[in-house]
Structure 1
Amino acid sequence: MPADIFSALADPTRRKIVEMLADNDGSPVSDIHNQFQVSPQAISQHLKILREANLVQVEKKAQQRIYRINTEALVELEEWVLTMRQRWSSRLDALDSVLKAEMEKIKNNHKE
């Protein structure tokens, strides 16, 4: 997974572009630009950052550039997130076990 994927997704405009591309099979730059109230140059810069992060792919058709989401990059991101969730879940499960054992000790000490 490219190291800058999180930086690329940190920007709300870029997240919106990725969401938009996820809903479509491919979108020309003009369609992407029409969804935002920023300059075409700003959208081009956002798309460049998304390309560099490998989140989108571009295909040239005649005079148009068609952007598509790179599902492989999203699968890698999802796998990383699942791994992190599993790590935290196991740590939280271990903490839960320790807390239950401590509560049981306290409970037993009050009975004596």
Structure 2
Amino acid sequence: MSEKNLERDVYAAIADPTRRQLIRLLADAEELPLHELTAHFQMGRTAVSKHLAILKDADLVIARRVGRETRYRLNANPLKEIQDWISYYEGFWKERMAKLNLLLEEKK
């Protein structure tokens, strides 16, 4: 794996449920400041900031300074990599289910 892939491992970034929830929150809003994101978790701002930093390293989150606060927004483009990977298995399971249905029909 190249050094760039180590920095931007989308799969590792979304592996954590807290980070997936952060992605969901940001998907539902145009932009949110840290204090609003933190309100959705039972952890402090520092812990939420660390999760956001991992998402930022994976290019899933874009941070913007507005005065003294940092606002975050989702960059969903890297999720396309995951969608492409999953789509292969979607075809795999459709084929398997079709074969199973044929087998079940033959057993009737």
1:10 aligns with 2:11: no
1:68 aligns with 2:73: yes
- Shift, 1:91, TM fit: 6.0
| Larger Rg, first or second structure (1 or 2) | 1
Aligned to 2:55: 50
Aligned to 1:36: 41
CA distance in 2, matches of 1:52, 1:23: 21
Q: Structure 2: which 5+ runs fail to align? A: none
Could you say what secondary structure the match of 1:71 adopts? coil
Q: TM-score, normalised by structure 1?
A: 0.72
Instruction: For 1:11, give the aligned amino acid.
Output: D
Identity %: 33
Could you say what secondary structure the match of 1:67 adopts? strand
Aligned to 2:96: 92
Could you say what secondary structure the match of 1:72 adopts? coil
Aligned to 1:25: 30
CA distance in 2, matches of 1:90, 1:24: 34
Greater fraction of residues in helix: 1
